[in-house]
């Protein structure tokens, strides 16, 4: 049995110190210009069996523990 590994971002809340994880959003390169949601292009490209896939990171983050909000940075 196999499982799929997915791209993710790990960050630590500056307010409460708890580690957080955000799943990266994968999209096919030809669909990049059609995106309308608030994600920034993260310049991460992964080679898959059927070609390339691009991943996006969230531009705003919210701590699931204390509710603090942050802008993301690279």
Task: Say if 70 falls within a structural domain.
Answer: no
Distance, CA of 14 to CA of 64 (rounded, Å): 12
Tens digit of pLDDT for each residue in 31-65? 666 655 555 554 444 555 566 667 777 778 899 99
Domain hosting 38: range is: 8-61
Provide DSSP, 10-38.
EEE-TTT--EEEEEPEEE-GGGGGG--SS
Instruction: Quote the tokens at residue 70.
Output: 């942050």
Number of domains in the chain: 1
Task: Say if 3 falls within a structural domain.
Answer: no
pTM of the predicted structure, to 2 decimals = 0.63
Task: Say if 73 falls within a structural domain.
Answer: no
**Residues present in the chain in total:** 74
53 versus 20: the higher-pLDDT residue is 20
Task: Say if 13 falls within a structural domain.
Answer: yes
Task: Say if 28 falls within a structural domain.
Answer: yes
Task: Say if 20 falls within a structural domain.
Answer: yes
């Amino acid at each position: 049995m196999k499982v799929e590994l997915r791209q993710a971002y790990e960050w630590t809340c500056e307010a409460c110190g708890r580690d957080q994880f955000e799943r990266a959003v994968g999209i096919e390169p030809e669909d990049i210009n059609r995106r309308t949601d608030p994600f920034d292009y993260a310049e991460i490209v992964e080679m898959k069996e059927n070609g390339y896939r691009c991943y996006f990171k969230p531009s705003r983050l919210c701590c699931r523990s204390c509710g603090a909000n942050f802008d993301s940075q690279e």
